[in-house]
Amino acid sequence: MKKIITLCLVYIATVSTGWAQAVGIGTSNPQALLHVAGENGTIRLEGLNSTNNSKNKGGDDLYNVVVDSDGNLSLSDLSGELFSDATLSSPVVLQTALDSDVNSNELYTKTFTLTQKAYVIITYYMSIEFESYDGSAKIVDGRTKIAHNYWYLGDGENPDTTKKYGMNSTVYSNETCDTASGYIFNSRSVTMPLAAGTYSIHLNGEVNGGGLTADAAFRVTFGDMDRLDIHVVYL
């Protein structure tokens, strides 16, 4: 009986030691706990294939594998277009202050959610049209007028107004003359890294006549034609 117990203990010790040793596939000298050698050496995880995982769309496409803080492997969410809209809202009219000084207002808000860390590409196009303060006539006074567009990043509800993104401006002046017709556009694209979570884009318009006199005040119509695109590249 003593011999049998001794043999069992020796066997258990041998197996336990073996579990801690490196395993080589295609090599007798593994350099890691699991070492797959050879030019065509691969690892197959059937839980990540197109049959078992909805994030794997199959075909010839490749999908990113990511690892979490516990070392678990999974498929990344698909990168691509998150949002695209060519009609953001009804046109918004924004007037300067009565002395032609600066005035600004929010034109449009869009909320989106990221499932994991990603690069986010945000692109907007905004048409702008300059008119007299009451909108009754085109501007022919020759004074310089400015229209800005930019956006704030928010938490899904409230914007962080300490940082402006995508700043773009148009400077306009005109006197009585033959002029081309059509829209003027502000547009800008911004790429930024963001962690998983819910965010919001708060697109703003701003008008500024330099704070001259009341007869220099004017208005701008934002968004007769506009577009907002949000693309995501999951990391």
Residue with tokens 């009986």: 1
The residue ranking higher by pLDDT, 12 or 211, is: 211
Distance from C-alpha of 129 to C-alpha of 103, rounded to nearest angstrom: 16
DSSP letter assigned to residue 137: S
Domains in the chain with CATH codes? 2-75 (no CATH), 80-234 (2.60.120)
Question: Which runs of consecutive H residues, i.e. helices, occur in the chain?
Answer: 2-19
| The pLDDT of residue 189 is above 70 | yes
Q: Which residues lie closer than 8 Å to 208 by C-beta, 6 or more apart?
A: 96, 101, 102, 103, 145, 146, 147, 148
pLDDT tens digits, one per residue of 4-54: 554 444 444 444 455 568 999 989 899 999 899 988 888 888 999 999 998
Band (pLDDT 50/70/90 cuts) for residue 221 is very high
Supply the pLDDT for residue 126.
96
Mean pLDDT across the chain, nearest whole number?
88
Supply the pLDDT for residue 112.
96
Distance from C-alpha of 140 to C-alpha of 138, rounded to nearest angstrom: 6
8 Å CB contact between 72 and 45: no
Q: What is the pTM of this model?
A: 0.78
pLDDT tens digits, one per residue of 50-93: 999 988 888 888 888 888 888 998 888 888 999 998 888 789 99
